[in-house]
Amino acid sequence: ISWAISSYWLHLYKKDYLSYGRCIITAGLTMLLSATSTYFIGFIAFSRVVLAITLVMTALITATWRMLLHLMYRYRTFVRTPLFGRRAVILGTGKESMRIGALLSHTPSFHFTLIGYIDNDNVSGTDQFIGRLENIHGIVRNQHINEIIIPEKWASISKLIRFIQDLKDLKIIFKLVPEGQKMLIGKGAVENLSGIPLMDIEFPLFDKFHQIIKRIFDLILSSLLILLTFPIHLYYLLLGKKYDQSIWSVDGQHIHLYRYQSKIKVIQDLPLLFIIIAGDMSFVGTQIIDITKKDPMMIMKPGLTGLLHLTSSNIQPDVFRDYEKYYAMHYSLVFDIEIIFKSILRL
- Residue 184's pLDDT is 43
Per-residue pLDDT at 217: 94
Q: What is the block-wise mean pLDDT of the chain (347 residues), using blocks of 10 residues?
A: 83 71 84 81 74 87 81 57 72 92 77 88 92 92 90 85 85 82 50 75 85 93 95 93 93 91 93 95 93 88 90 67 85 90 81
pLDDT value at residue 330: 86
CB 288 within 8 A of CB 269: no
